[in-house]
A and B are shown apart, each in its own frame.
Chain A
Amino acid sequence: MTINTLLVKEGCPQEQMACFRKMEKVIVAMQDPDMGMKMRNQRLLITVIPHAMTGHDIITWLIQKYCISEEEALHLGNLLVKYGYIYPLKEPRSLVLRRDESPYRFQTPYFWTSTQWPATELDYAIYLAKKNIRKQGELMEYEKERYSLLHKRINHTWDFVVMQAREQLRASKQRRKADRIVLECQEQAYWLINRPAPGMPNILDAGLERPNNLRVTLNSDFYKREIEACQRALGRNRVKSSNCLEGFLKHSEQYQNHDPIMQGCLPSNPWISDDAAHWTMNADVVPVPTRLRVERWSFSFMELLSDTMGRKEFMTYLEKEFSAENLCFWQACEEIRHGENSRISEKVNEIYKNFLAPGAARWVNIDSKTMYKTLEGIKRPHRFVMDDAQMHIYFLMKKDSYPRYLKSDLYKNMLAKAIVPQETKKSVFPFMRRQRHSSPSPAQAATQATEEDGRVKEAGQAGANA
């Protein structure tokens, strides 16, 4: 969820690199001399800014190049502006792409986020110092606050900061006015992204810094505990991995038809059809359950017990066999395990009275060892005091009653009566067993095209840089 920024590769946290690279490919394509954008000179007050483009042009170019809709082009363009690859000339603080004649410019690669990562406090201080000197103290409120904060924090290098600022200002004065303005715009755009104004979203936020060093002291106590744990672990039984893998395969196969994402669902998936029929048919208690649901009861004992209707059916069956007290006991134990702390003693007493006491109305058949342990435990009741007894009865039911229930007429009739819902009559839906395949999104195809273009370009550039 959050990144350890010490995992730095090539000057930029690796997790952001992929996105930046993709955006940079688009930018490079936009600047291609033949197929790229048509640039023009833009008038800004009295100065003429060369190599600028309008928002409208950007969107048109994106639509044409990637065969996408206007909405997508606007979205993509906005991302390019938000991440600082294109900046607006008219309202620099508003990082949005307008689809009108507003002028925009490409950010120079020197100021790409991926080039200069992370933006340092020192650089920010120099920038603010320059601005301060140039505008004779007229910084924005939040810039003033940050400036004084930085002044306190890196006071020891403040002379260097001021000196650098003065030096850079002097150097820039020797440039042509147009170039100077361009550089100022570029630098301002860079800092609007890397040090956003308060209230503006910080898109370069990488989340919490997590301590790289381990939080627990590795002393001798720690190692002693580790040794104990290792000795216990060494003694554990390990199953062959091939058997385990077989198990997963079986499980997936068994549940494949019950997995709506894999196989679709009847009568229809509510998210797709906006029809809640599926949920109604599979509510906790229904007059007739669906076939898939009844099938699941045969997958495992737990499946049967965790379904309200399944449990009821099983109870009916056990009543016929005069062993319903087992399930009642199990249910009562569950209520202790998951219920309120304050009622534990009360519930334990109830269980003792009804199920465990000699001559109890619904006495359960537990082996003497477990019974003794449980009766001892009842003297000081706690949430797990019934665990052993509950487990014993659970396995009793699982090994004995459950398999017989599945072979019984009661279950077989249930299965036969169960509904197989009709598929909702909408021709778009595929048949029940076929895989869902939606047509690939044009953006996906376009991205592939970009990636292919990009790869060729990268190879070309790499060759040039080598």
Chain B
Amino acid sequence: MAAEKAEMDALKKECDGLRAQIEAARKAVNDGSMSASAGGVEAVGRVQLKLRKNLKGHLAKIYAMHWSADSRQMVSASQDGKLLIWDTFTGNKLTAVPLKSAWVMSVAFAPSGNLVASGGLDNICTVYNIKAASPKTLRELDAHTGYLSCSRFLSDSEIITASGDTTCCLWDLETGKQKVVFTNHIGDCMSLALSPDENSFISGACDSLAKLWDIRSGTCKQTFSGHTSDINAIAFFPSGNAIITGSDDCSCKMYDLRADQEVIGYQDTSLNAGVTSVALSNSGRLIFAGYDDFNCHIWDSLKGEKVGVLSGHDNRVSCTGVPADGMGVCTGSWDSFLKLWN
């Protein structure tokens, strides 16, 4: 017993030592602050986006939404047990997908537009074919031992899921089996995002760490720390060289993959609510972050300043998304409405 403990302590010490060395290496390359570099850039000024559409249709809290690659259709999931597929241009509901389990927490649109996936407290990721006459369940991906917090399609044959059982997983949709299991987090995985080149993805978890994974090898390539509470949302900067995270500690952070560390933080003493979701405008200049204070605040990603706010929801903003063509931003809330702004 004592020998085991001694071994553990020695390992812990070695680990801490290595971590300290990594921190030192990171510090060594941290030779510039964002405020210094962005000093010469023109300020964005006050960004005031108008509400363009208010999509009503759900009867309970909206937990997740995802844009289709055509930038026109969008799928949203609510705990009233339905997925709704919208044509955001006309505001019409194109399809309603009834769910077996109403406790849905995530939804995803396949790039082809043929499939949507959803999952939640049932631990299962269900994939539906929405191009059929009526939505048909294509696959039920059942192997996670915790709730499904996020999912993203790589193509019509592969999907990546993040779960409360602390793992992320790559599934083969033809066989419905797990292909790669990504284990390294020590807390519930809350969200994931695919890199623009689709060779890797990032995940944020309740252990306050963000991790970069290589899809092919299944290994964790990089770990980013700095947050002091659960990371709820994560997104790639459009160039693919940096990631933005949003956390329950009320701040967002940008981590650069090449510098291997945080390069800018987005926090404000007046903001006392956790971040639930993040999305970036096409150029990466604006960050739209949904908070628990019922608002979506807009940050200038380069200067680290708050430049606007989207107010209008009556409850927590649970999901945010910018379509591929960058036309505007959609916010979904626990007040059961989706709002489109630009």
- A residues at B contact (CB < 8 Å): 1-4, 7, 14-19, 75, 79, 201, 203, 205, 208, 210-211, 214-216, 218-220, 223-224, 226-227, 229-231, 233-234, 236, 238-249, 251-256, 258-262, 265, 269-272, 274, 276, 279, 282, 302, 338-342, 384, 387, 435-438, 440-441, 443-444, 447
Contact = CB atoms under 8 A, between A and B. Distances in A.
A115 B264 CA distance: 37
Contact of A215 (B38, B187, B311, B326): B187
Contact of A227 (B15, B327, B328): B15
A262 B207 CA distance: 35
Interface in B57-77: 60-61, 63, 71-72
Interface string B133-162: 000000000000001010000111110000
B29 interface: yes
A441 B51 CA distance: 11
A240 B259 contact: yes
B32 A435 contact: no
Given A1-B63, A260-B325, A242 B282 contact: no
B16 to A, nearest CB: 9
Given A214-B207, A262-B44, A262-B285, A238 B52 contact: no
B34 A245 contact: yes
A1 B232 contact: yes
Given A219-B8, A223-B15, A339-B157, A252 B263 contact: no
A15 B271 CA distance: 9
B284 A230 contact: no
B154 A338 contact: yes
Interface string B226-241: 0001101100011101
A384 B327 contact: no
Contacts of B149: 1
B104 interface: no
Nearest to A216: B186
16 contacts: A1-B63, A15-B272, A15-B273, A18-B293, A203-B315, A229-B220, A236-B260, A238-B28, A241-B32, A241-B259, A245-B34, A248-B242, A258-B326, A259-B281, A265-B327, A338-B158
Contacts, number: 256
Interface in B12-43: 12, 14-15, 18-19, 21-22, 25-26, 28-32, 34, 36-38, 41
A261 B29 contact: no
A215 B163 CA distance: 12
Contacts of B314: 75, 79
Given A201-B60, A244-B263, A248-B242, A220 B52 contact: no
Interface in B163-187: 164-166, 172, 174-175, 184-187
A245 B44 CA distance: 17
A437 to B, nearest CB: 6
B52 A272 contact: yes
A302 B196 contact: yes
B207 A261 contact: no
B309 to A, nearest CB: 8
Contact of A261 (B49, B241, B242): B49
Given A3-B292, A233-B223, A269-B327, A238 B15 contact: no
A302 B281 contact: no
Contact of B48 (A203, A224, A437): A437
Interface hub of B50, B63, B156 (most chain A Cβ within 10 A): B50
B321 interface: no
Nearest to B188: A210
B164 to A, nearest CB: 8
A256 B7 contact: no
B327 A260 contact: yes
A215 B188 CA distance: 7
Given A18-B293, A249-B37, A269 B328 contact: yes
Contacts of B46: 437
B333 to A, nearest CB: 12
Contacts of B88: 271
A443 B312 CA distance: 10
A220 B4 CA distance: 8
Interface hub of B281, B285, B322 (most chain A Cβ within 10 A): B285
A279 B21 CA distance: 52
A1 B258 contact: no
B37 A261 contact: no
B273 A18 contact: yes
B296 interface: no
B11 A211 contact: no
A214 B22 contact: no
Contacts of B258: 238-239, 243-244
B274 interface: yes
B276 interface: yes
A77 B48 CA distance: 26
Contacts of A219: 8
Given A1-B63, A227-B18, 8 more contacts: A15-B272, A214-B186, A233-B260, A247-B241, A256-B285, A258-B326, A271-B340, A282-B325
Nearest to A251: B239
Contacts of B185: 216
Contacts of A249: 37-38, 41, 302
A351 to B, nearest CB: 18
- 5 closest cross-chain pairs (CB), A and B: A242-B32, A15-B292, A230-B18, A255-B283, A259-B283
Contact of B37 (A226, A245, A437): A245
A321 B183 CA distance: 47
A444 to B, nearest CB: 7
Contacts of B229: 4, 7
Contact of B263 (A75, A216, A245, A441): A245
Contact of A259 (B28, B52, B174, B326): B326
Contacts of B233: 1
Nearest to A444: B311
Nearest to A245: B37
Nearest to A9: B272
